[in-house]
Structure 1
Amino acid sequence: MKTKTILKKVFLSLGSIFLFYRSYELIINWEKLQSSNNTEAVLFSILANLFILGSFALAGFAWPTYSLLPSKYYEIRFPKQILKFGKLIGVPIFQKFLLMTFWSNKDQQKRYFNGTKTGIFNWVKESKMSEFGHLIPFFILVFLSIWSLGLGFWKMSLINLILNILANLYPVLLQRTHRARLSPILKRLKDSTNNSA
């Protein structure tokens, strides 16, 4: 393994550990952080989303954390239905927004798919990594929203839930949409490999 790769893994791992610690601090103090003040509610919800998402995302960039879930979870059983549902709730619009803002860099896009046959398999792997990085934070943040609601802070619960849907649920659905689109191509590649064997 190259020194640059090792250093990258070390820095990403340290960043993830730091954010996990900050997330832990935030969660154990969640009850004390509840606020009816709009600015505070938005601020604490943003911090919760940033810390929790960041901790899992950085860990996923450093290590194959997506493999913690069984491979069956990532299988797309009903691609047409997923694509139809995604279109219905605006996943393609969300994708266009990402491509115009956070993912406008062409080099970033090539990290996902470089236009080759091998690149398709890399795209699938990257989509699994991204999905896992958003999936666990989604459930943790849903729990925090329910907690806020239980404490009577419905505004903070709603703000946190909206941010969570945009920052985590839509990215999860987008990755599943990617794999749904790729499923016929992957099937053809798999069949051609089996036929040539």
Structure 2
Amino acid sequence: MIRSEPQRYEPPTHGLNIIPFAFMAGGWLAPLIMFWLYVWGPLRPFDYPAGDLMPGVFVLFAMAISVALWWIIPRGYFRVSEFEQTGRVYELLGVLVFRKLVPDGDFANRWERRKDPNYRMIRSRKSAADFIKRTEQSERGHIVLLAIGAVSAAHAWSIGWHGWALYLSAGNIVVNVYPILLQRYTRSRIYRILRRESGIAA
């Protein structure tokens, strides 16, 4: 139950979040950076093909648009659509399984409650509103990374580095697609609870 009195949102301080962060950063973000260092040339391993593999104007433009998505995604994009309101579509896609393993996910929160049985990520309507904003910011960031990863994978494929293209694409699904789905599922769940408790549209 979400209480009506305002309380300041306090993010968790437990260290268990380091594990999923390390997997995501070390398993996808670091290889993404490594890929571009290899493409650039000077840090390319000796057994890699020689030559100029730098991206053309189109790839650079696509990369610029990917970064610009942080500012140009319309506010209305983050509204929960009618088909999302029950959350069922996300559950069928396995979001609940993914939620167990992510930072601030089920396992991390369960660990925190072992030390503090009263610990809750959301304690009031005010913290619920703050948390919704937090999901929007997280989703925005993952959209930018998703676009950068997609452009990088496409460039890898175009220069014949198919292994890199497949790896970056698979990692993109785990590190960015599923977090985006999770943020949208979380918002739909919070809205659902608020509507149930207040009797009005949240």
TM-score of the superposed pair, with normalisation by structure 1: 0.57
Structure 2: which 5+ runs fail to align? 1-31, 48-66
TM-score of the superposed pair, with normalisation by structure 2: 0.56
Q: Distance in 2 between matches of 1:155 and 1:111?
A: 44
For residues 178 and 67 of structure 1, do their structure 2 counterparts lie closer, same or farther at Cα, with a shift above 3 Å needed? farther
Q: Distance in 2 between matches of 1:140 and 1:183?
A: 30
Q: Distance in 2 between matches of 1:184 and 1:100?
A: 19
Partner SS state of residue 122, structure 2 = coil
Match of 2:95 in 1: 91
For residues 103 and 152 of structure 1, do their structure 2 counterparts lie closer, same or farther at Cα, with a shift above 3 Å needed? farther
Q: Distance in 2 between matches of 1:187 and 1:93?
A: 25
Specify the code of the residue in structure 1 equivalent to 2:121: F
Q: Distance in 2 between matches of 1:176 and 1:192?
A: 17
Residue among 130, 140, 159 paired with 1:151: 159
Partner SS state of residue 142, structure 1 = helix
| CA-CA distance at 1:101 after TM superposition | 6.0
Residue among 188, 191, 197 paired with 2:200: 191
For residues 66 and 190 of structure 1, do their structure 2 counterparts lie closer, same or farther at Cα, with a shift above 3 Å needed? farther
Q: Distance in 1 between matches of 2:135 and 2:106?
A: 19
For residues 146 and 67 of structure 1, do their structure 2 counterparts lie closer, same or farther at Cα, with a shift above 3 Å needed? closer
Q: Distance in 1 between matches of 2:38 and 2:138?
A: 28
Q: Deviations 1:6-29 (Å, cap 9, x if unpaired)?
A: xxxxxxxxxxxxxxxxx8996486
Residue among 168, 179, 187 paired with 2:176: 168
Larger Rg: 2
Question: Any conservation in 1 of the 2:37–2:44 contact (CA below 8 Å)?
Answer: no
| CA-CA distance at 1:84 after TM superposition | 2.7
Q: Distance in 2 between matches of 1:111 and 1:96?
A: 17
Specify the code of the residue in structure 2 equivalent to 1:191: I
Q: Which has the higher contact order (CA 8 A, sep 6+)?
A: 2
Q: Distance in 2 between matches of 1:153 and 1:26?
A: 10
| CA-CA distance at 1:148 after TM superposition | 0.7
Q: Distance in 2 between matches of 1:75 and 1:143?
A: 26
Q: Relative to structure 2, which stretch is displaced further, 67-76 or 123-132?
A: 67-76
List aligned pairs for 1:110-129, cutoff 5 A. 113-129=121-137
Q: Distance in 1 between matches of 2:77 and 2:121?
A: 22
| CA-CA distance at 1:78 after TM superposition | 2.4
Match of 1:75 in 2: 79
Question: Any conservation in 1 of the 2:95–2:178 contact (CA below 8 Å)?
Answer: yes
Partner SS state of residue 81, structure 2 = coil
Residue among 22, 39, 54 paired with 1:30: 39
CA RMSD of aligned residues (A): 4.2
Match of 1:42 in 2: none
For residues 77 and 137 of structure 1, do their structure 2 counterparts lie closer, same or farther at Cα, with a shift above 3 Å needed? same
| CA-CA distance at 1:34 after TM superposition | 7.5
Q: Distance in 2 between matches of 1:67 and 1:187?
A: 30
Partner SS state of residue 97, structure 1 = coil
Question: Any conservation in 1 of the 2:85–2:188 contact (CA below 8 Å)?
Answer: no
Is 1:106 aligned to 2:106, yes or no?
no
Partner SS state of residue 113, structure 1 = coil
| CA-CA distance at 1:185 after TM superposition | 3.6
Structure 1: which 5+ runs fail to align? 1-22, 38-55, 57-64
